[in-house]
Each structure stands twice: as structure tokens, then as C-alpha cells.
Amino acid sequence: MLTFLRRHALLKHPFPAAWLAVLRRLPWYARLDPDLQRRLQGRIQIFLAEKTFEGCGGLDVTDAMRVTVAAQACRLELHHDPSHFPHCSTVYLYPDAFVSPVTQVLPGGVMAQVPTARIGESWHRGGVVLAWSAVEASTWAEWTGRNVVLHEFAHQLDSGSGAVDGAPLLRNRAAYARWAQVVSGALTRLRAHLAWGEAPIDPYAAQSPAEFFAVTTELYFEAPQLLHAFDPALHQLLEDYYGAFPEAGAQAA
Ligand SMILES: [Zn+2]
């Protein structure tokens, strides 16, 4: 209840002009209708009040950086009841790719933690790590199908169902059954394509159901035609989950 009242009070604060200037530079913001623009602003106010941003590797985090990250994270929940990403309390920002231990299978089948350069990471509990150079690149270059903020916060939505398993929190068992059916069919087909040396979408999606959800989320917002061409049923599944985005459809015009 306290959280509800606090969030309600936050929404009465005017949206700062400097933050609005950042939003207006986002390529898709102008395509939202005024109601959605206001809704996004409110969600950003809540996001920035509730999450801590921490600069790493000598980065000074500016308000423009915070608003740029928050806007794209909140875009994911613009058309449905927001979770406000409860498992993410801190966003860690590095200037560039950072090194993090990643579990890999070495020759001989040995599992080991190998230091690996990364541009983003999502923790099941605690936070999201992002390389600012990658955030900037994916923010300004539309329709590449890549967006590190959408990718990592899709993992956060995934963890909202209790496990990072490629399925976010859904309404009921029937919705989970449909999700599993559509995703497993699409993932099997992707792996078959890759075995033939074809990559209809980013091969990284084939790593696991969790990466499949994160990568196809990027495509849903940033290259919807490509996703639709790969698998119309999967595109429809994500549209039913995220909501229809007329501002994403502008690519087709
Ligand atoms: Zn990922």
C-alpha cells in the first residue's frame, strides 16, 4: 500500500524539462500518442525514483543516461500492467564492454568460469549491468534488431515468473501452454536452420529459451518484419504479451 501511495505521489510531480529533452531524442518517442507519452513519463519517474544507478569503471552517470535506460526499459511494459522490474534495484553502467565470468564448456566437457567481454548482463536478483557505449549505439540506430536495454530487461521480465526460463509471468496455465508450444516450435526450427548454416535471426537466440525470449523481444521492437517473416505465430505471441506497437509498425510505411 505504501508503495502504491508513494508511486501515486510521484506521478503528481511534473516531468522535468531536461528529461523530456532526452525523450524527444529517442527515435520512437514521437510516434507514441500523447496518452502513451504521458504514461511512459510516469513509469520513468517511478523507475528513476526506485532504482539506483551506479557508474563503474570511472563512468560518471548523467541524468541523460538514466532517462535513456529507464525509457527503454519502461517501453517494454507500456501496454500492460507494469511490474516496475522488482528484482532490479540497481543499474550498473560501464563506459564500454566489461569483463565478467561466464560459464563455458571447455574441451573435454569441463565446465569453467571464463572471463568474457560483455555489453549487458541481467541478474536474477539485484540488478542489470550495461555498457553505455552499447546502450547509445542501440538507442540511436533503429531497426537493427539489436537493443541491449530491451534484451537485459526482457530477462528481468522473464525472472518475474520465478525462474529465468524463457517465459515471463503470464495470465494462466493455458497461456503458459501456448507459450511453450509456440516457442519450442520456433526454437527447434531456428536450430535446424543454424545446422544448415542459415541464420534467419541472431543465432544467439538458440543458446537457451531465456536468450530466445530476450533476442526475440529485441526483434519485436526493433525489427518486427524480420521476426514476422521468421515466425508469424511467434510474432503474434509477443504482440499478445507486449501489446501492439503502432510506433514500431512505422517501419513498414
Ligand atoms: Zn541474454
Q: What is the DSSP string of 205-248?
A: GGG-HHHHHHHHHHHHHH-HHHHHHH-HHHHHHHHHHH---HHH
Q: Residue 193's pLDDT is what?
A: 96
Q: Residue 163's pLDDT is what?
A: 84
Ligand 1 centroid distance, CA of 214 (Å): 6
- Using alpha carbons, list the distances in angstroms from residue 232 to 50, 145, 228, 235, 252: 37, 16, 5, 5, 16
Q: How confident is the model at residue 62 (pLDDT cuts 50, 70, 90)?
A: very high
- CATH class for domain 2-252? alpha beta
- Using alpha carbons, list the distances in angstroms from residue 165 to 34, 90, 157, 206, 243: 35, 22, 11, 13, 21
Please say if the pLDDT value at position 161 is more than 90: no
11-32 mean pLDDT: 93
Q: Residue 248's pLDDT is what?
A: 58
Q: Residue 190's pLDDT is what?
A: 97
Ligand 1 centroid distance, CA of 64 (Å): 24
By mean pLDDT, which of 112-121, 130-139, 149-158 is the weakest? 112-121
45-71 mean pLDDT: 97
Task: Specify whether the CB–CB gap between 158 and 164 falls below 8 A.
Answer: yes
Please say if the pLDDT value at position 253 is more than 50: no
DSSP string, 117-176: EESEEE-SSEEEEEEHHHHHHHHHSTTSS--HHHHHHHHHHHHTTSS-SS----SSHHHH
Q: Taking all residues of the chain, what is their mean pLDDT, rounded to a whole number?
A: 91
Task: Specify whether the CB–CB gap between 55 and 95 falls below 8 A.
Answer: no
Please say if the pLDDT value at position 1 is more than 80: no
Interval 168-178: pLDDT, tens: 999 999 999 99
Ligand 1 centroid distance, CA of 9 (Å): 34
Q: Residue 247's pLDDT is what?
A: 58
Q: What is the DSSP letter of 76?
A: T
Ligand 1 centroid distance, CA of 118 (Å): 10
Ligand 1 centroid distance, CA of 215 (Å): 7
Please say if the pLDDT value at position 221 is more than 60: yes
Percentage of the chain lying above the pLDDT 90 cut: 74
Ligand 1 centroid distance, CA of 213 (Å): 9
- For the chain, the structural domain boundaries read 2-252
With CA atoms as reference, report the closest residue to 152 among 124, 126, 128: 128
